[in-house]
Amino acid sequence: MAHTDKNVLMNGFHGKIGNQIVIRQRNGKTIMSNIPSRGKNKPKGKRLENCERFKMAQVWAKTIQKKPSVYAAYKARASGGQTAYNIAVADFMMPPAVTDINISGFKGRTGDIIIVLATDDFKVKEVLLQIIGPDGKFLESGKCKSVQSGAYWQYTTLKAIGNLSGITIKAIAKDNPGHIGEMVVMIK
């Protein structure tokens, strides 16, 4: 792939020359490359699933271009030849992850604190926490507050719970495209 910064003949030119060369502009540079070829075999299985996810990611990236505030956030993250579109596609492809639920401060009292560590390649939009009884009924749930630059999320309990045996704590992280990552901790 050839790059040029100041070429009088190619400056501003983009498109296909014959069926051999593609010329495009990116960050003030002219880029020449071979025409991308498509494989003869149609994707199957996991590869087909990934192709479908990538198509949905492209739709997501086009959608955010129509939302100025969201587009600006993606554009601010773009660097080194990337565009807001590239960042949005990558964000769609990588769901958030909950990697830790710290229940050391949870003793079953009102006002106890549970800390959740949730990450995403772009941004975790919100984290929900659920406290579930041994019988499967929801005892309490709500949104966590972001602390320490968005990686840590804090939930303050609203109710007292007598017996913690068999209690399940579930944290659910959501990102901009709406994907979720979750983790469950059970108290024995």
Asked if 139 and 167 sit in the same domain, the reply is yes
Asked if 107 and 89 sit in the same domain, the reply is no
Handedness of CA 117, 122, 123, 124 (dihedral sign): negative
Asked if 87 and 138 sit in the same domain, the reply is no
Distance from C-alpha of 37 to C-alpha of 20, rounded to nearest angstrom: 10
β-pairing, 124-132 with 29-34?
A: unpaired
- Tell which of 93, 116, 136 closes a domain: 93
- Number of folded domains that form the chain: 3
pLDDT of residue 81: 80
Within 10 A of 183 (CB to CB), how many other CB atoms are there?
Answer: 17
pLDDT of residue 3: 58
* Angle between helices 68-77 and 45-64 in degrees, nearest 10: 120
Asked if 153 and 182 sit in the same domain, the reply is yes
Asked if 173 and 120 sit in the same domain, the reply is yes
Asked if 126 and 182 sit in the same domain, the reply is yes
pLDDT of residue 18: 80
Residues 110-120: tens digit of each pLDDT: 999 999 999 99
Asked if 179 and 101 sit in the same domain, the reply is yes
β-pairing, 97-102 with 124-132?
A: unpaired
CATH of the domain at 147: 2.60.40.1930
pLDDT interval class at 30 (50, 70, 90): confident
Provide the domain limits for residue 28.
1-37
Residues 5-28: tens digit of each pLDDT: 666 666 667 788 888 888 888 777
pLDDT of residue 43: 82
Asked if 125 and 172 sit in the same domain, the reply is yes
pLDDT surpasses 90 at 141 = yes
pLDDT of residue 135: 92
Question: Which is more confident, 79 or 142?
Answer: 142
pLDDT interval class at 56 (50, 70, 90): very high
From 8-12, 51-55, 67-71, 109-113, the region with the lowest mean pLDDT: 8-12
Asked if 30 and 48 sit in the same domain, the reply is no
Buried b (16+ CB within 10 A) or exposed e, 110-123: eebebbbbbbbebe
Asked if 89 and 101 sit in the same domain, the reply is no
pLDDT interval class at 188 (50, 70, 90): confident
Sheet holding 152-156, edge to edge: 97-102, 113-119, 152-156, 145-147
